[in-house]
Amino acid sequence: MKKESGRVVRERKTVEEMVKLYCHQHHDTQGEKLCDRCSVLLNYAFQHIEKCKFHPEKPTCRNCTVHCYSKKNKNTIKDVMRFSGQRMMLRFPALTILHLIDGWKDKKRQEEYFKAEELKNK
């Protein structure tokens, strides 16, 4: 089994809670339950976290340079994140802050990565 980095575990947890929040408010579900459509979406998101080619050091999806979601799913997940983003901060402040920090670190790492690539291609 591939070793999971903390950030991947966090990413999965973050997306799960976001979809839950969204589904509870929009589709009248409760607790651990999700409606069919949202379970499919969440599974889709999980699969893409697993499949991510940067795994296990994957950047948070917001910062990712590869847009691996289909157009339809991308729009749906964007809605979910827009809706749940601020609410996550209230409900899961620690998780949200760690996730944001992961994002900031990515920016730096990506800049370094692109710089290195540029030098290679010169």
One of 27, 33, 78, 91 touching Zn ion (CB under 5 A): 27
Residue with tokens 């379970």: 39
- Closest Cα partner for 49 from 109, 111, 5? 5
Give the shortest CB-35-to-Zn ion separation in angstroms.
3
Judged by CB under 5 A, which stretch of 3-11, 28-36, 71-79, 97-105 contacts Zn ion?
Answer: 28-36
**Which one of the spans 24-32, 57-65, 76-84, 107-115 is the region binding Zn ion (CB under 5 A)?**
24-32
Binding flag, residue 80, Zn ion (CB under 5 A): no
Count of CB atoms situated within 10 Å of the CB of 36: 8
Is 35 an interacting residue with respect to Zn ion (CB under 5 A)?
A: yes
Of 18, 23, 42, 45, the one binding Zn ion (CB under 5 A) is: 23
Task: Kindly report the number of other CB atoms within 10 A of residue 15's CB atom.
Answer: 23
Q: How far, in Å, CA of 48 to CA of 54, rounded?
A: 11
- Site size for Zn ion (CB under 5 A): 4
SS3 of the chain: helix, strand, coil, percent, to 5:
75, 0, 25
- Per rule CB under 5 A, is residue 38 in the interface with Zn ion? yes
